[in-house]
Amino acid sequence: MTCMSVIQNLLRVLPNGVVISGSESTRPFECDGLNAYKQQPLAVVLPENIEQIKATLKVCAENNTAIVTRGSATGLSGGATPIENSVVLGLSKLNNIISIDQKKQLAIVEPGVRNIAVSDAASKYNLYYAPDPSSQIACSIGGNIAENAGGVHCLKYGLTVNNVESIKMLTIDGEELILSRQDEGMGLLALMTGSEGLLGIIIEVTLKLNRSPELARVIMAGFDTVRDCANSVADIISAGIIPAGLEMMDQLAIQATEDFTKAGYPLDAKALLLCEIDGNKEEVQSELDIVTDILSTASSLVVSNNEHERLTYWKGRKSAFPAIGRISPDYYCMDGTIPRRHLAEMLEKISELSEKYELQVANVFHAGDGNLHPLIMFDGGQEGELKKAEDFGNDIAILSVDMGGSITGEHGVGIEKLEAMHHQFNEKELDIFLKIKQVFDSKSLLNPGKAIPILNRCVETGGLSKSSIPSLEYP
């Protein structure tokens, strides 16, 4: 069936205003936060309920048309980038908070609900949702689950996978499944969390909520060397302290962020550590005493005195990405994860790569769990600079694996890290991933060509910026 017939069938089974087609109308949906790669879809469907999702899946399955699920499109690995002649299934209209159970500390929400909206709604019950990505004012819960997002408070309270109690999903055939933490067997809830839209469509989520702590304080420490800052991370954890957040920034990130947010960061510091302690007043004071003693050799040391100051320090860290965007035409954000003991070594290696590729890089880290976010600065208008940034990023991913870590911590593989997947996993392991995908999606219609490289026919990320992203089929 022709592409036009697919659109006509969608228009036939769905109400007016739900289907978007045409070059100009679909252009806003051509990429996610990784905007170096762009591909316009065949059509965009913005369903208002589950029955409309099922109708869309049925049309696409009957016509062998790829489906790319999209939330708020804040992702940074190309997970929501359309496939050529695909249908983008946008879930932004499914944005209801269905219920909040104060006693059980649970929230039931639709996938299009924004991350911060959950905490806002739960705050009147003295509850909140812990995972807090930097994009939390915009990113959606469905997208957080697709990528297993983290945030500055993931060290103590866990990633998305640790804070989801159950998921209701649709298979490619329109069958409703409920995956729960209480299920016995293979742990399909964890499998779905971080599956990048390859296995099913999330339609409802039950989230775990936490009691708001009695007190929270942030310690802001500046250091004269990056190594001293990195070593202090290990010292804090070794002392038996599990901070609510433990974040690190280098000087370029500090200066760009301070100019943008006026958070009060020390501009002369080579590295900055933000350490949050929370709990009851006695616990917080006890742990503050231990941490401030560990950080006593820092060049500067400040402890937030009130909630406004605490939020201001975090606002600076969470604004690092847009802050770099103000001083560079483009930036490429990586997402490797390494053991904490290698933080200083990795920063030195990144500095060497910066000189090799002649590209500046600003480093922001979820230092407590070793999740790196180097921001490689480049000018996409200059010939060859995007390719250099891609190669730089791939080298960081490979280094992360070689240091005992992973190519991604929370951004996912998408189309960005397909090549690096071959470095982390052997062919037998990749074949297992493909077979799992085929169990859920035998025709490979759900987000094909993402996350799992096709054996013997891997698409290299470097070529995607210059051509259409193909719809790949499994061999």
Same domain, 368 and 429: no
Task: Please tell me the number of Cα atoms within 13 Å of 466 on its side-chain side.
Answer: 9
pLDDT exceeds cutoff 90 at 164:
yes
DSSP character at residue 140: B
Residue 95 and residue 107 in contact, taking contact as beta carbons nearer than 8 Å: no
Same domain, 112 and 174: yes
Same domain, 40 and 10: yes
Q: What's the average model confidence in pLDDT over 317-330?
A: 95
420, 435, 463 - which closes a domain: 420
Same domain, 104 and 179: yes
Which structure tokens are listed for 58?
Answer: 């049925």
CATH number, domain at 204? Answer: 3.30.465.10
CATH number, domain at 80? Answer: 3.30.43.10
Kind and range of the H or E run holding 327: helix 320-327
Q: What's the average model confidence in pLDDT over 41-51?
A: 98
Same domain, 13 and 27: yes
- 391-413 confidence digits (pLDDT tens): 999 999 999 999 999 999 999 99
Same domain, 433 and 413: no
Same domain, 116 and 202: yes
pLDDT exceeds cutoff 50 at 2:
yes
Q: Could you tell me how far CA 310 lies from the centroid of its own chain? A: 24
The parent domain of residue 405 ranges over: 328-420
Question: What pLDDT score was predicted for residue 185?
Answer: 85
Query: Phi and psi for 248 in degrees, rounded to 5?
Result: -130, 145
Q: Could you tell me how far CA 407 lies from the centroid of its own chain? A: 13
CATH number, domain at 235? Answer: 3.30.70.2190
The predicted model scores a pTM of: 0.93
- 277-312 confidence digits (pLDDT tens): 999 999 999 999 999 999 999 999 999 999 999 999
Same domain, 349 and 401: yes
Number of structural domains the chain divides into: 4
Same domain, 381 and 289: no
pLDDT exceeds cutoff 80 at 465:
no
In 328-426, which ranges are continuous DSSP H helix?
343-357, 385-402, 418-424
Q: Using CA atoms, how far apart are residues 274 and 18, in angstroms rounded to an integer? A: 45
Average pLDDT, the chain: 94
Using the structure block, give the residue that is written with the tokens 């649970």: 106
Residue 462 binned pLDDT confidence (cut-offs 50, 70, 90): very low
Residue 29 and residue 87 in contact, taking contact as beta carbons nearer than 8 Å: no
Same domain, 69 and 108: no
Q: Could you tell me how far CA 147 lies from the centroid of its own chain? A: 5
CATH number, domain at 334? Answer: 3.30.70.2740
DSSP character at residue 86: -
CA angle 472, 143, 249 (to 5 degrees): 105
Query: Phi and psi for 401 in degrees, rounded to 5?
Result: -65, -45
382, 397, 420 - which closes a domain: 420
Same domain, 198 and 104: yes
Same domain, 242 and 305: yes
Give the residue, 457 or 467, on which the prediction is more confident: 457
320, 355, 375 - which closes a domain: 320
